[in-house]
A and B are shown apart, each in its own frame.
Chain A
């Protein structure tokens, strides 16, 4: 089946650091990738939709300058949390799909802890 690889799986860093998370589709071309954030006991909240070669579409309330998304190829999207602060600590997970009619394939997620 389709595999999406997400790295790193766990990050602990100091406040003010920028953190980059990678999401790769390993055996298919992902025209669209999605970045989600999950708070404890809540559902997956979509942060942004990333289309290859174009700017990401951010959801309301998500700061685009804070969460930089790059989708430079059909197999790679990156999320950079810039100048991270403790309130950015969360679980971030990406997904990818080939077409609108197919399910999304998820990475394993990244647990981000900002001290």
Chain B
């Protein structure tokens, strides 16, 4: 059973704060790491697919880094806004794993005014 862990479980920040959270995953047999954003009453939305060690991806105020050797990825949100409130999921895709994503339990972010 693959272990994909996310921390913290939940996070409350004030509007304008920058924040970050962590996804840890197996450091062996790595193929890709996905990040998704899941707003209440909507479907999960893909943010990033990361494949290379040291990779950094950015989408607006959200960015992510990847360390495949030590098995972690950070997601950063700069200048949080209320519309960033959502659950952020990471998912690990292993090499030869039958193309299956293993999801973490997510970090629930609430941005308050």
Contacts and interface: CB of A to CB of B under 8 A. Distances in A.
B59 interface: no
Interface string B86-105: 00010000000011111111
Given A43-B105, A43-B106, A103-B34, A108 B99 contact: no
A26 interface: no
Q: Which size class do B's interface residues fall under?
A: 20 to 34
Contacts of B49: 101-103
A4 B99 contact: no
Contacts of B89: 43-44
Interface in A4-59: 4, 6, 32, 34, 41-44, 46, 49, 57, 59
Contacts of A59: 100
A115 to B, nearest CB: 23
Contact of A43 (B45, B100, B104): B104
Contacts of A49: 98-100
Q: Which of B32, B44, B89, B98 has the most CB of A within 10 A?
A: B44
Q: Which of A44, A104, A109 has the most CB of B within 10 A?
A: A44
B25 to A, nearest CB: 12
Interface of B: 4, 32, 34, 36, 41-46, 49, 89, 98-106
Given A101-B32, A105-B43, A105-B46, 7 more contacts: A49-B99, A57-B98, A101-B49, A103-B36, A104-B46, A106-B36, A108-B42
9 contacts: A43-B4, A43-B104, A44-B89, A46-B100, A101-B32, A104-B46, A105-B43, A106-B45, A108-B43
Interface of A: 4, 6, 32, 34, 41-44, 46, 49, 57, 59, 93, 95, 100-109
